[in-house]
A and B are shown apart, each in its own frame.
Chain A
Amino acid sequence: MNFLRLAKRDDLPREKEWIIRIAAVLLSLVFAGLILIIFGLHPLEIFRTIIEGAVGSEMRIKQTIIKAVPLIITSLGILVAFRMKFWNIGGEGQIMMGAFAASYVALFLPEMPKALTLLAMAAAAMVGGGIWAFIPAIFKAKMGTNETIFTLMMNYVAIKFVTYLQYQAWMDPAAKGFPKIAPFPERALLPHVFGVHAGWIIAILCVSFVYFFMNYTKKGYEIAVVGESVETARYAGMNINRIIIISMIISGGLCGLAGMIQSAAVEKTLSVGISGGYGFTAIITAWLGRLNAIVVFFVCIIFAMLIQGGAYIQIALNVPSAVADVVQGIILFFVIGSEFFLQYRVLPGQRLQRSGKEAA
């Protein structure tokens, strides 16, 4: 590092910020294109097909929205925890437990009217996801237990638990030996609004709620302060343990709600695949959205397009949909890497500069 020197940027103009970001995306596409060429694929055709698959017809747009909904809600949950620098990577498990709680209401509670059933499912899901997040939170608050590993392990416990339900305890005898849980009754299915299940309305409500909560309420402010500096928060007399626990319950509750939507609208039952990796993808989207609810919303839509378009290239071009994962990974690496250039300027190193001074 002798010939290069770094300096922190103070204020980068908005336009320049976007120029760097867009340049990163373009570079990543060029790079991904080269890799696709190496493997004998036609990059432009693949990119075009991904976009076509995401927004090419009304049905595909609906599919993209369906993919975006759980991602948005989970990302919002992750966002609340990450603002506090609580590394909740347990989104998968919280989605699972939310879906589990909702399924319990749908399958085993006495019959209720549809509206009541759905409300009870949503409430149960938020409690289920919330409890799953509360467990690591209380240990973090009381004993300083490492939350990254704890939440990660909770994912696996949840996955194994739902596997157990699906393959054993709740297996539907009517499914002729297939390891499936009975489908939800009609009253437990989310209704459609404008041709897409009502989850999209819930997602938009959640975006507004989290945006308002984080930016305009005392609790939201406290979460941000704890994230910036625990010492400052303590000095200001905040109850840090309580803030950790409350924000994690909100975080897990939102993830649980995503689980309820997936079970009540997409899978129409409970299954091991219900979290679909959204808990992990949401970490990336929340981070790329700079932990701002509105930006996260748009990042999630772009991601959903990639997911949906990636599934489409398999059908359209007979190219494995894993290509989309590779392209997605490359774009992510470049965008994550470009953040550096938003924060630092790379200057010529000291030796060069000294000679410059001498010349002057």
Chain B
Amino acid sequence: MESFLATCIVAATPLIFATVGEIITEKAGVLNLGVEGMMLMGAVIGFMAGLTTESPYAALLGALAAGAGGALIFAVLTVTLRANQTVVGLTLTIFGTGFASFVGQPMLGSMVPETVGSFFAKRSIPLLGDIPFIGPVFFRQDIFVYIAYLIVVIAAVYLFKTRIGLNLRAVGESASSADASGINVEFYKYVHILLGGALCGLGGAYLALVRVPIWQADVVNGRGWIAVALVIFASWNPVKALFGAILFGGLSILGLRLQAMGFSVSQYLVDMIPYLATIVIVILSSHKKGRENQPPADLSNPYFREER
């Protein structure tokens, strides 16, 4: 059980990065469907940086920069040039997929270098790692996992307890009101689209550097879309996203686990559960009009000051 839960955390980690990233982006009223593409860009550049420099820090930086780079294309097109967010997001995913398989072509089958691999090896946190049950599950993981915990906490505090976070939410709820109260809407959108993209890049890098430390073109394999779903599942709350990601990550390995235990369950049908669960959540959130769990009111509405 402990080992199963610990594996759930590993499966959840890329989802945590991407989901928190997309939450931050969506809180600015921007729906970026390019998560899958940005994760792939982060994965391939992170892997390449790690492979050529043999430095784990370069790998992390490369992944952050690549994710943010993909997001920058998105931001220029949707915020400055006012293009349709859905269309640009999908294009970004197509571009990122091509980019990763093109840039990664010469590295196919390459292993993560020893120095990078050992940096991302599992290490126990003193004291916390010794707590029975909780320790082995949560605190005997790799550095990425700990960064993910940190990011969840930081994002939650940032969004809900700081002035800037309040402004950000104002931009997402009503860009015109935010603009009227003196918030620089375009600037907020840009910064948070880039932040979101950088986190997606990290999520992708985790898959390429730690989860499967050999380069393969389809590392991300739809997880970007799961992250988009998780945002809703978590009702735009980073802390809920953490638990949602663990749940979704767990479901993705549950079928095989059950089969190993002798139950005849189809992994393919178990794989459906996260998506069905998300649909149920979307329906429920549209049904009960609680103010807590609603999407940002201005989500995916473009904002042009001249057209108010």
Contact = CB atoms under 8 A, between A and B. Distances in A.
Secondary structure of the B contact surface, majority rule: helix
B133 interface: no
Interface residues of B, number: 51
B286 A146 contact: yes
B268 A340 contact: no
B252 to A, nearest CB: 11
B268 A167 contact: yes
Interface stretch (A125-133, A237-245, A318-326): A318-326
Interface string B270-308: 011001101100110011000000010000100000110
A146 B282 contact: yes
Given A146-B282, A146-B295, A322-B105, A157 B98 contact: no
Contact of B266 (A164, A323, A328): A164
Contact of A328 (B31, B33, B88, B98): B98
Contacts of A344: 82
A42 to B, nearest CB: 15
Interface in A11-64: 39
A8 interface: yes
A144 B283 CA distance: 9
A325 B102 contact: yes
A336 B87 contact: yes
B52 interface: no
Given A320-B101, A337-B81, A329 B94 contact: yes
Nearest to B299: A146
A156 B105 contact: no
Contacts of B96: 329
B158 interface: no
Interface string A314-353: 0000001011111011101100110110011000000000
A294 to B, nearest CB: 20
Contact of B101 (A322, A328, A330): A322
Given A160-B275, A168-B266, A325-B102, A333 B91 contact: yes
In this complex, the member of B272, B276, B295 whose beta carbon has the largest number of chain A beta carbons within 10 angstroms is: B272
Contact of B225 (A152, A329, A339): A152
Contact of B95 (A145, A157, A163, A332): A332
A152 B228 contact: yes
B271 to A, nearest CB: 5
Contact of B98 (A280, A326, A340): A326
Contact of B86 (A148, A340, A343): A148
A280 B269 CA distance: 24
A150 B279 contact: yes
Contact of B286 (A145, A154, A323, A328): A145
Given A87-B86, A144-B286, A168-B268, A329 B95 contact: yes
B73 interface: yes
B82 A340 contact: yes
Contacts of A154: 275, 279
Contacts of A6: 306
In this complex, the member of B95, B97, B99, B102 whose beta carbon has the largest number of chain A beta carbons within 10 angstroms is: B102
The 6 closest A-B CB pairs, nearest first, are A325-B98, A329-B95, A164-B268, A322-B101, A322-B102, A340-B81
29 contacts: A6-B306, A143-B286, A144-B286, A145-B286, A146-B232, A146-B282, A148-B86, A149-B228, A149-B282, A152-B229, A153-B276, A156-B225, A157-B279, A163-B268, A277-B94, A284-B87, A284-B94, A324-B98, A325-B94, A325-B95, A326-B98, A328-B95, A329-B99, A330-B95, A332-B91, A333-B88, A336-B77, A336-B91, A340-B81
Interface of A: 1, 6, 8, 39, 87, 89, 139, 143-146, 148-150, 152-154, 156-157, 160-161, 163-164, 167-168, 277, 280-281, 283-284, 287, 320, 322-326, 328-330, 332-333, 336-337, 339-340, 343-344
